[in-house]
Amino acid sequence: MSERVADLGFARVDLDRQARQGAPEVVYGPGKTAEEIVAIVSALLAGNTGPVLATRVESATAGAVLAAVPGGAYEPAARLLVWRPARTGSFEVVVVTAGTSDGPVAAEAAAVARALGLAVTVVRDVGVAGIHRLLAETGRLRAADAVIVVAGMEGALASAVGGLVAAPVIAVPTSVGYGAALEGVTALLAMLSSCAAGLTVVNIDSGFGAAMAAHRLAHATTRRTTPAGTQAAQPGGQR
pTM: 0.89
State the Rg of the chain over Cα: 18
Q: Looking at the domain that runs over 92-218, which CATH code has it been given?
A: 3.40.50.1970
What percent of the chain is predicted at pLDDT more than 90?
86
- Closest listed residue to residue 119, CA positions, set 138, 147, 142: 147
Q: Tell me the per-residue pLDDT of 132-151, one tens digit each, with 9 for 90 and over.
A: 999 999 999 999 999 999 99
Task: Report the pLDDT value the prediction gives residue 220, as an integer from 0 to 100.
Answer: 86
Task: Report the pLDDT value the prediction gives residue 3, as an integer from 0 to 100.
Answer: 78
What is the β-pairing status of strands 119-123 and 92-97?
parallel
Decide if pLDDT at 228 tops 60.
Answer: no
For residues 20-43, average pLDDT: 95
Taking the C-alpha atoms of residue 38 and residue 189, their distance in angstroms, rounded to an integer, is: 38
Task: Report the pLDDT value the prediction gives residue 235, as an integer from 0 to 100.
Answer: 56
Which comes out higher in pLDDT, residue 229 or 153? 153
Q: Where are the domains of the chain?
A: 5-85, 92-218
Q: Tell me the per-residue pLDDT of 54-90, one tens digit each, with 9 for 90 and over.
A: 999 999 999 999 999 999 999 999 999 999 999 999 9
What is the β-pairing status of strands 52-55 and 27-28?
parallel
Average pLDDT, the chain: 92
Decide if pLDDT at 2 tops 70.
Answer: no
Task: Report the pLDDT value the prediction gives residue 238, as an integer from 0 to 100.
Answer: 40
Contact 134, 72 (CB under 8 A): no
Buried b (16+ CB within 10 A) or exposed e, 91-124: bbbbbbbbbeebbbbbbbbbbbbbbbbbbbbbbe
Taking the C-alpha atoms of residue 62 and residue 96, their distance in angstroms, rounded to an integer, is: 27
